Structure 1
Amino acid sequence: MRANRMPTEEIKRDAAAFADRVTSDGRFGRTAEPGRYRLVINRACPWAHRVVMTRRLMGLEQVVSLAITDPVQEIIEGDPHWVFTERTGSPDDKDPVLGIHALREAYLARDPAYDGGVSVPGLVDVASGHLVSNDYDQISVDMATEWGGLARAGAPPLYPEELREEIDTVSAEVYQDLNNGVYRSGFAPDQKRYDAAVQGVFARLDALEERLTERRYLVGDHITLADLRLWATLVRFDAAYHGHFKCNRRKLIEYPALWAYARDLFQTPGFGDTTNLEHIRVHYYAVHTAINPTGIVAVGPDPQGWLTPHRREELGGRPFGDGTPPGPTPEGEHVPPLEEQG
């Protein structure tokens, strides 16, 4: 969808254009190898964020390098594209590893006839410059389960076999009503479809509030992919979706359990240290000109609230299961301190 054009019908998400799987044994044709792949993301995008969190929690930072695009897309031939600029540390407006200005170049390297949309995250084969996959969920699942000995010692079980059915069920409900529901609200073409979408958003938030009142994590007693998928939307809710997408019945901070849950995870390595709230606000308010034609970027909310005590540890549970926290954020991947993100 073009950034400056409202849809005439309800927003629909296309299936991933490219979805090659990468595994330790290469049984799908691509093998997980250190330095072979580069993950292209944008700090504003919730779909890319869940992959970045998975990569960090699994300790794959030295295995898969990270490329960060500008939070403001560039219009190329009438369509918005994720591009590299000096603002995000790309000299000469090109990614220093892939040598490209726009992620679309990796799509075209894979298929010169490709004329579809370009989305992040994009997993790119460094040697060929070909896009391997833009299937955010499958990339996350494979990084959590299929990269074998390349993951760090102590990596948490993000998608354990005994919990997969419940993780998938909960994640599907969250996706339909909340992850995608906020977009269906924000880009609704008429009042009827807005009303239906926003009702689903808050019905799901109400249900999650009840679920998380007496349990620390969505599924099981430690962090799983279900938490990553939910949290990527929660961390953007008050900063973007509440006002910009008209999801303004209540704020996240008005849900006691959900707000405490969100703060608990923000303060857990892998979550807050991969979040750039400034990029989130700048992207949503500056790019969606059909919704916000002035391009004025909202100033709030005050990010310091994310650091207030949450007391969720009183519910028990272990963030990383029998594993351990990830190490320090790698050089070059630090997000600005919160006081600089307000």
Structure 2
Amino acid sequence: MTFPALVTERRDDGSIVSQVEMLDDARLPPGEVSVDVEWAGFNYKDGLCLTGGGGLVRTYPHVGGIDFAGTVRDSTDPRYVPGQAVVLTGWRVGELHWGGFAGRARVQADWLVPLPLEMNTRQAMILGTAGLTAMLAVNRLAHAGVAPDDGEVLVTGAAGGVGSMSVSLLSRLGYQVAALSGRPQHGEKLVALGAKSLVERAEFLAQPDKPLESARWAGAIDSVGGVVLGKLLKQIRPGGAVASLGNAGGIEINTTVLPFILRGVSLLGIDSVMQPYEARLEAWDRLASLFDFPAYDGMVEEVGLADLPEAAGRILRGEISGRVLVRPR
């Protein structure tokens, strides 16, 4: 039985091209579990993989897709049985290992998580890597002592997938959320997700830069990095924390030790790629009961495999908000 897949190739001249092909199981990489993919997500990393950016893909031909959800087709691992709904995020799938931009995938059993009974596969991919990362960040902030009554929590890159889901999750937990974005046209959607105030990125960065600035935020979730994170750290209140999980604005930060030694600020790194199984399971179970899917519906776009090369350009140019879902069949 064959299935469609978006196969990415590197031509002799070094150019990267992707096109839909029909494959069979013999083409799939080794693994313990085969999954009939019902939905995949489309992320910034996927845009890089489809264009050859970042050196994420090492061998060609390649099938991208860093997260997907579907049902088990067959398994040599007793934890998974045919027909069981599962989700996969991380583990360099879609980068070093073939991913979810296909009607079928074969992966290691340890990379999968069984879906909570309250969640279907489409909902799992509305969340995807973005939702898991946002949940991990919210959990870390709470464990670091940032409570709903402590004051405003800033979410940067708020119009993106991780940012918008962070806004929603924090709001549902009772936090006062301020949403920072360079795309003011998405302000109404962010308010609908629970943002209490909107911060325009240019205005935020235009303020005079000082070694230590007025303490404004109880905590923050930052998906931008670069100059935004550097400035943000100087504005966190004493005892506050920042969860850092992205680098769309750059991998370098310019800051001082003052926020850390004078205000006791914590910088919390969030790695969603290599999270252990138990942490993933806990996060997915919490997402199933906490996330407001109806409120997020206006932030969801659906595409097919053939649409992905065009979508790659859009996501790398910062023209996509919310989540893009891929129908591989």
TM-score normalized by structure 1? 0.28
Higher strand share: 2
Q: Which has the larger radius of gyration?
A: 2
TM-score normalized by structure 2? 0.29
Higher helix share: 1
